[in-house]
Amino acid sequence: MRNRITVVGLGYIGLPTAAVMAAAGMEVIGYDLNPRVVEALNKGEIIIEEPGLGQLVKEMVGQGRLRGISSLESSDVFIISVPTPINADKTADMSFVRSAARAVAQVVAKGNAVVLESTSPPGATEDIVAEELKASGLKIGEEIFVAHTPERVLPGRILIELVENDRIIGGINAESTEVVKEIYQRFVKGSIYTTDSRTAEMCKLMENTFRDVNIALANELAILSEKMGINAWEVIKLANKHPRVNLHMPGPGVGGHCIAVDPWFVIEGQPEGKLIRQARDRNDGMPLHVLQTIRDLTKGIDTPKVAIFGVTYKPDVDDTRESPIMKLVEMLVREKNYEVAIHDPHVDDAIFKYGELKKPTALEAADGADLFVLAVNHSEYLRLDFEEIGKVMRTRQIYDTRNFLGGAGLEALGFKVLLLGRG
C-alpha cells in the first residue's frame, strides 16, 4: 500500500490536503520552498486562514503523522499542489508546476504515483508533468503512475469539502487512474469519477468558467439596470423563482485564483472562445465601473476621502489573489486626487502598501470620509456601528457593491445609500 505521501506546495489547498490525508492515517510530508511555511508547520502552526485547519495541523504534527521539509525525500506518492498564476498576456504560468515535476523526477522511484492537483490548461499533466518525469529514466504509466485530480473546494469549508465532495481522477492511462483512485478513496467520502487526464483538466476549468459567465451576465444586468432605473437584485430574486433559472449575483468584479483565472486557461490559443473571453472582459471591467461611480459620488468635493471596506476576493477569508478590490484601490491611488483608507479585518499589515496607507480601525478608516464603499461582504461588517461611523464621516454616503448592508436602516441614520445594480 502506498502510505507515504508528499504534498509539494503548502498553500491554500496543499496544506489542508496534507492535514486531511494525515488524519486518514497516512504518513504525510509537506514540502515547500518557503522556509517560513515549513518552520511553522513543524511547530504545528499555520500562516493562512482556514476554519479548523490550525487545530488539525497541530494534532497531526503532535501525533507524528505530518511534518514539513525543504528538500524532497523518497515517497510513495507525490501530490503537486503549487500555484498556476496567469501571465500578463493571460496565458498560464506553468513554471511552478514544471519546477515541481523536475524536482520530483530526481527522487521518484519505481511504483510511485505522481498527482497534479494544480489547476492547469488541458494537456499539462501529459505535456509537462509526465514529460519532466521522463528524466527519472522510469517508464511513465508503467513504472510511474501519473494523474490529474483537481480540487473543488470552497475557502472556509476546505476541510469539509476535501472529504465530502465528489472527486474526478484522470490518469494518463487506465492503470494510472486506478492507482491514484485507490489513494484518494482512503479519505474521500464523496463519489470518485474516473476519466483521462485532459478531460479531468477541462472539467475543473469549465466548472469555474460556468460560474464566471453567469456572473458576467449578472454584472451586465446590473449595469443595464442602473441605466434603466431597475433594481437588478429584485430582478434576480424574482427570475430565480423559475425552476430552471439560477442567475448569480453581481458585484465589483471577480477574484480568487479559480474563477478569475481558469477561463483564460480554457481559451489559451483558442480564438473560438469568444463568449468566455467576453465574460472575462465584463468581469474584469467591473472595478472600473465602480471607480466611475465613485467619481460621480464625489464630484465637486475637494480631495475626497474614500473608505474602502474589504479588499479580499471573497468574504470572511484572508485571500487577496486576483482581488478586484485591490485593482480598484490601485486605480484610486493612481488618480492622486483621492485620499484612500482601507479596512479589512482579515488581512495583515503587509497588504496596506499604497503610499502612506496603514491598517486602521473601522472608525479611523471612516473618519473624515466622503464615501464609505462596502466592497467585500465580510460578516463582521453587519456588526459595524453606523451611527458612530456617520458621526465621523464628512459626507454621509455609502456605496454598497454587494447588496449587503440594508439601505433602509442606513437612510434613517442620514446616509445617502447607492446600491450597485440599482437604478
Count how many Cα atoms sit within 13 Å of the Cα of residue 370 in the half-sphere of its side chain. Answer: 15
Q: Which residues pair with 192 in a beta bridge?
A: 167
Total of domains in the chain: 2
Contact of 7 with 16, CB cutoff 8 Å: no
pLDDT, position 240: 98
Contact of 155 with 55, CB cutoff 8 Å: no
Domain-ending residue, one of 196, 224, 244: 196
| Set of cell numbers at residue 57 | 495541523
374 pLDDT higher than 80: yes
pLDDT, position 350: 52
Write out pLDDT tens, residues 233-260: 999 999 999 999 999 999 999 998 889 9
pLDDT, position 256: 86
Same domain? 174 vs 309 = no
Write out pLDDT tens, residues 76-113: 999 999 999 999 999 999 999 999 999 999 999 999 99
Q: How far is the CA of 279 from the CAs of 113, 271, 284, in angstroms?
A: 37, 14, 8
Same domain? 75 vs 174 = yes
Write out pLDDT tens, residues 331-368: 998 988 999 999 999 987 655 555 455 678 999 999 99
Contact of 236 with 249, CB cutoff 8 Å: yes
Q: Which of 55-64, 85-94, 309-318, 408-417 has the highest mean pLDDT?
A: 55-64
For the chain, the distance separating the N- and C-terminal CA atoms, rounded to the nearest angstrom, is 62
pLDDT, position 33: 96
How far apart, in whole angstroms, are the C-alpha atoms of residue 168 and residue 250? 30
Residue entry with cell 465602480: 290
215 pLDDT higher than 70: yes
How far apart, in whole angstroms, are the C-alpha atoms of residue 146 and residue 196? 11
In-domain check, residue 362: yes
Measuring CA to CA, which residue among 292, 311, 305, 289 is closest to residue 375? 311
pLDDT, position 318: 87
pLDDT, position 360: 85
Instruction: Report the phi/psi class of residue 86: left, alpha or beta, with left for phi > 0 and alpha for psi in -120 to 50.
Output: beta
Residue entry with cell 448592508: 405
Contact of 28 with 50, CB cutoff 8 Å: no
* Mean pLDDT, residues 374-394 taken together: 96
pLDDT, position 407: 73
Same domain? 57 vs 177 = yes
In-domain check, residue 181: yes
Percent of the chain scored above 70 by pLDDT? 98
Domain-ending residue, one of 172, 196, 220: 196
* Mean pLDDT, residues 24-51 taken together: 96
| 261-293 burial: b if 16+ Cβ within 10 Å, else e | bbbbbbbbeeeebeebbebbebbbebbebbbeb
pLDDT, position 392: 97
For the chain, helix (H) and strand (E) counts, in that order, are 17, 13
The range of the structural domain enclosing residue 173 comes to 4-196
183 pLDDT higher than 60: yes
C-alpha gyration radius of the chain:
23
**The pairing of beta strand 167-171 with beta strand 113-116:** unpaired
Residues labelled catalytic: 204, 258
Looking at every residue in the chain, the average pLDDT score rounds to 95
pLDDT, position 355: 46
How far apart, in whole angstroms, are the C-alpha atoms of residue 161 and residue 410? 37
pLDDT, position 69: 98
Write out pLDDT tens, residues 123-156: 999 999 999 999 999 999 999 999 999 988 988 8
- What CATH number is attached to the domain comprising 12? 3.40.50.720
Residue entry with cell 425552476: 243
Same domain? 179 vs 304 = no
Domain-ending residue, one of 155, 181, 196: 196
**The pairing of beta strand 27-31 with beta strand 113-116:** unpaired
